[in-house]
Amino acid sequence: MDSLDRRAVRCQRFAMPAALLDYFRSFFGYARGKLLGTTMIIVGAALLEGVGLLAILPFLEMFSGAEPSAVTRRLVDAMATLGITTQEQRIVAVLAGFLVLVALRNWLVWARSLRLQELGQGYVDHVRLGIFETMAKADWATIRQLKVHEGIHSISTDVQRLSAGTQRLLNIIVSSAMLAAQLIAAFVISPMLAMAILAIFIVAAAVTPFLWRRSHRLGQQRTIRGRNMFETLLSFLTVLKLAKIHKQEATYLSAFADDVRGMREEALQFVSQQSALSAVMQLGVALIICLVVLIALFWLQTGYLALAAILIILVRTNGPVLNLLQSAQQFANLLPAYIGLQELEASLASSAQRSPQEYQPTPAGRKDDLAKVQERSQAPVAVQCSALSFRHPGQTKPLLNQLDFAVSAGQLVALRGQSGAGKTTLLDLMTGLLTPDAGSVAIDGLPPADPRLARRLAYAPQDPVLLDRSIADNLMWGVPPQTSEAMWSALEIAQARAFVEAMPNGLQTRVGERGQSLSGGERQRICLARALLREPSLLIMDEATSAIDRPPEKASLSGLRALSDRMTIILVTHREVDLTLLDGSYALTSGAIYPEKSGA
C-alpha cells in the first residue's frame, strides 16, 4: 500500500477543479469549429421534446371533450385560421402533427447521436495523437526517465476511460437541454405545479457535491491500481525466465491479484453508489408525485387533465435527472484518467518544445560545404568532440568533463572503459540523443542532430532490437528498400549468412518476439547486418559484438575494416581487440579519454 499512497500523492498534483477547468478548455478548444451545428441540433431536439409534451394536454382535452385550457384554446384558434374547425378535423390534424413531430424529433435525435459520437471520439483521438506526438518529439534524456508502464497505461487505458468520460459529458449536456425543455413545458401548463420539478433539481443539487467527491476518489484509486497492474505485468514479462528459474511466480501473482481484487472492490463500490442513487431518486420522485397530486387536488383545484399532463412530464423528468446525476458521477470517476494524461504530457512537453539542437558546435574536423555533405553518397566522416562536458540529472559530478576526442574519416577505433565510465553517454552525445552541458560534438562540421546526418548514421546496440517478424523484415526496419543480394552481403560481413542460410525458410524465417528463437550472438549479428544496410558514413557499435564468439567477431571486424573507404567506425567494447584491425584504441576514465595503443 505504500506504493499506492505515493502514487495517490502524485495523482493529486492536478487539483480536481483545476483539472476540470483544463479539461473543459481542452475539449471546447478542440470542438470550437463543430459546436454551433451540434448545439443547434441539441436545442432543436430539446425544443421538439418540449412541444411534444405541451401537446399532451390539448390531445387529452380534445378526445375527452373537457373544458379547454388556455393552451388548447390557442391551439384551436391557430387551427381555425387554417380552416380546421370541426372536432374530427382537429383530431386528425393533432394526430398528423404528432406523427410529423415524432418523425422530425427522431431524425434530430439520430443526427444528435451521430454528431456527439463523432465529436467525442474525435476529441479522444486528438488527445491520443497529441500524447503520442509529444512522446515522439521528447528528447532522449526525458524519455529515459519515463516509466514505461505508466506511459502504456496512459495512452491505452487512460485514453479509453477519457473516451467514456467525454461521452458522459456530452450526455450531461443533452440531459440538461431535455430538462430545460420539460421544465418550460410544465410552466406553460401550470406554473405552480412546475415548481415540483424544481424540487427534483434542488434535491439533485444537494447530493451532487458529495457524490462527485466520492466518485472522483474511487476514480483516482482505479487509476493507481491500473498503473500498478501494468507495472507488475511488464516486470513479470521482462524477468519471466528468471522468475520461473528462481520460483518467483507466486510473488508476482500475489501482487497482481491484490490489484485485481482492489479494482473489483472499487468498481463494486461505484456500482453500489450509483444503484443507491437510483433508488433514492425513484423514492424522491414518488414522494414529489404524491405531493403534487395532493396540492393540485386539495389546494390549487387543478383540473384532472392538466394534472395528468403535469404528472406525465414529472415522470419523464425522472429519467434525464437520474441520467444527469449518474453521468456526473461517472465523469468525476473518469476525470483522474485525464489527470494522468496531463501528467504524462507535462513530463514530456517541455523537452518536446525545445529545438532539436540547442548549441552550435565549434567548427572542427573537415569543413565540407553543407551541400556537398548532403550530396555525397556513402563516404566516411570525421568526428570531433571538443571540451565536452555532461552530467546526468541528480549527479553531483560531471560524468564527462572537458573531454576532447577526435576520429578521422575512415578510421576504425575502439573505445574501452569500466562500466559506468560514460561510454554509452558519449555515444548518445555523438548521435544527438543527448545535448552536452558544455562543449560540442561535430560530425563533418555539423551537429549530430542535424537532419542532414540522420541517413548517414547507423547504431548497433548491445541489446539487439528485433521484431516478431521475418529476418528480412527485421533487416529492412529503418532501411531504404534493398535487394536480397544486398541483404545476403550484409549478413556475410556480420558473419550471419551461414546460420540464416541453414534455416528452413532462410530470410523469411520468423525470429519470434524480441528474437527469442535466436541466440544472443545471432541476434547481435542480425542487428549489425541491419546497420550495414543503412550504408552509413558513421557506424557506432555499443558492445554490439559482446555475445558473439571470438572467431566470428574477429572475422566480422576484418570485414568492417575493409569498408574504411565507406564509413568511420567507433566500437565500444570491454574485450581486447586485435590491434591490427584498429586505427586506434582509447580508454575512457574519470571523464576523459586517453590513447591506449596504436593500431594498424
Percent of the chain topping pLDDT 90? 10
Please report, as a single letter, which amino acid is at residue 567. Answer: M
Look at residue 563 and give its three-state secondary structure: coil
Flag whether pLDDT at 57 surpasses 50: yes
Q: Is the dihedral of CA 506, 509, 514, 520 positive or negative?
A: negative
pLDDT (tens digit per residue) in 570-584: 998 887 777 778 888
**Residue bearing the bigger pLDDT, 44 or 579:** 44
Same domain, 341 and 471: no
Q: Is residue 365, in this structure, part of any structural domain at all?
A: no
Same domain, 344 and 376: no
Q: Is the dihedral of CA 2, 213, 166, 134 positive or negative?
A: negative
Please report, as a single letter, which amino acid is at residue 411. Answer: Q
pLDDT at residue number 132: 83
Q: Is residue 376, in this structure, part of any structural domain at all?
A: yes
Confidence of residue 441 (pLDDT cuts 50, 70, 90): very high
Same domain, 100 and 171: yes
Same domain, 343 and 422: no
Domain boundary among 351, 380, 399: 351
- Domain residues for the domain of 537 are 370-597
pLDDT at residue number 360: 40
Q: What is the mean pLDDT of residues 407-424?
A: 88
**Which one, of 336, 342, 329, lies nearest residue 226 by Cα?**
336
**Residue bearing the bigger pLDDT, 31 or 243:** 31
* Crossing angle of the two packed helices 56-64 and 304-352, in degrees rounded to 10: 160
pLDDT at residue number 382: 93
Same domain, 446 and 541: yes
Look at residue 530 and give its three-state secondary structure: helix
pLDDT at residue number 17: 72
Same domain, 229 and 342: yes
Q: Is residue 16, in this structure, part of any structural domain at all?
A: no
**Which one, of 366, 300, 52, 295, lies nearest residue 178 by Cα?**
52
pLDDT at residue number 337: 81
Same domain, 174 and 300: yes
Q: Which residues of 122-150 are buried (b: 16+ CB within 10 A; e: fewer)?
A: ebbeebbeebeebbeebbeebeeeeeebb
Confidence of residue 11 (pLDDT cuts 50, 70, 90): very low
Highest mean pLDDT among 83-97, 289-303, 444-458: 444-458
> Is there a contact between 462 and 544 (Cβ–Cβ < 8 Å)?
yes
Q: Is residue 126, in this structure, part of any structural domain at all?
A: yes
pLDDT (tens digit per residue) in 527-536: 999 999 988 9
Q: What is the mean pLDDT of residues 288-292?
A: 73
Q: What is the mean pLDDT of residues 41-47?
A: 83
Domain boundary among 303, 319, 351: 351
Same domain, 62 and 157: yes
> The CATH number of the domain where 147 resides is what?
1.20.1560.10
pLDDT at residue number 354: 45
Confidence of residue 204 (pLDDT cuts 50, 70, 90): low
pLDDT at residue number 413: 92
The 3-class SS string of 102-158 reads: HHHHHHHHHHHHHHHHHHHHHHHHHHHHHHHHHHHHCCHHHHHCCCHHHHHHHHHHH
Flag whether pLDDT at 422 surpasses 70: yes
Q: What is the mean pLDDT of residues 21-43?
A: 83
Look at residue 466 and give its three-state secondary structure: coil
> Is there a contact between 579 and 600 (Cβ–Cβ < 8 Å)?
yes
* Crossing angle of the two packed helices 35-54 and 304-352, in degrees rounded to 10: 170
Q: Please report where in the chains the cell 550472438 appears, as a residue.
A: 521
Same domain, 345 and 374: no
Percent of the chain topping pLDDT 70? 80
Count the domains in the chain.
2
pLDDT (tens digit per residue) in 212-236: 677 777 777 777 887 787 778 777 7
Same domain, 288 and 412: no
Report the C-alpha gap between 335 and 213 in whole angstroms: 11
pLDDT at residue number 68: 67
Look at residue 416 and give its three-state secondary structure: strand
pTM of the predicted protein model:
0.67
Q: Is residue 356, in this structure, part of any structural domain at all?
A: no
Mean of per-residue pLDDT scores for the chain: 78
Report the C-alpha gap between 359 and 436 in whole angstroms: 8
> Is there a contact between 572 and 542 (Cβ–Cβ < 8 Å)?
yes
Report the C-alpha gap between 544 and 80 in whole angstroms: 93
Least confident of 81-90, 97-106, 140-149, 393-402: 140-149
Rg (CA), the chain: 36
Flag whether pLDDT at 9 surpasses 60: no
pLDDT at residue number 381: 92
Flag whether pLDDT at 39 surpasses 50: yes
User: How far is CA 305 from each of CA 35, 117, 521, rounded to the nearest angstrom?
Assistant: 40, 39, 88
Q: Which three cell numbers stand for residue 37?
A: 451545428
Q: What is the mean pLDDT of residues 150-166?
A: 79
In degrees, rounded to 5, the angle at the alpha carbon of residue 181 between the alpha carbons of residues 176 and 183 is 90
Torsion angle of the four alpha carbons 188, 193, 197, 198, in this order, in degrees rounded to the nearest 10: 90
Flag whether pLDDT at 384 surpasses 90: yes
Q: What is the mean pLDDT of residues 422-448?
A: 89
Same domain, 437 and 325: no
The 3-class SS string of 318-338 reads: HHHHHHHHHHHHHHHHHHHHH
Q: What is the mean pLDDT of residues 465-490?
A: 86
**Residue bearing the bigger pLDDT, 198 or 6:** 198
Highest mean pLDDT among 56-70, 160-174, 374-388, 559-573: 559-573
Flag whether pLDDT at 355 surpasses 50: no
pLDDT at residue number 8: 43
Report the C-alpha gap between 559 and 562 in whole angstroms: 5
Q: From edge to edge, which strands make up the β-sheet containing 438-443?
A: 400-407, 383-390, 438-443
Q: Please list the helix, strand and coil fractions of the chain in percent, rounded to the nearest 5, in that order.
A: 65, 10, 25
Q: Is residue 11, in this structure, part of any structural domain at all?
A: no
Q: Is residue 577, in this structure, part of any structural domain at all?
A: yes
Same domain, 446 and 341: no
Q: Is residue 314, in this structure, part of any structural domain at all?
A: yes
Q: Which three cell numbers stand for residue 286?
A: 414518488
φ, ψ of residue 368 in degrees (nearest 5)? -70, 150
Least confident of 126-140, 315-329, 427-441: 315-329
Determine the number of helices (DSSP H) and then strands (DSSP E) in the chain.
20, 9
Of the CA atoms within 13 Å of residue 183, those in its CB half-sphere come to 15
pLDDT at residue number 488: 93
* Crossing angle of the two packed helices 56-64 and 70-81, in degrees rounded to 10: 80
User: How far is CA 235 from each of CA 55, 231, 351, 501, 573, rounded to the nearest angstrom?
Assistant: 64, 6, 27, 36, 28
Confidence of residue 139 (pLDDT cuts 50, 70, 90): confident
Of the CA atoms within 13 Å of residue 379, those in its CB half-sphere come to 11
Q: Which residues of 344-355 are buried (b: 16+ CB within 10 A; e: fewer)?
A: bbebbbebeeee
> The CATH number of the domain where 532 resides is what?
3.40.50.300
Q: Which three cell numbers stand for residue 166?
A: 467525454
In degrees, rounded to 5, the angle at the alpha carbon of residue 529 between the alpha carbons of residues 526 and 532 is 155
**Which one, of 427, 383, 389, lies nearest residue 405 by Cα?**
383
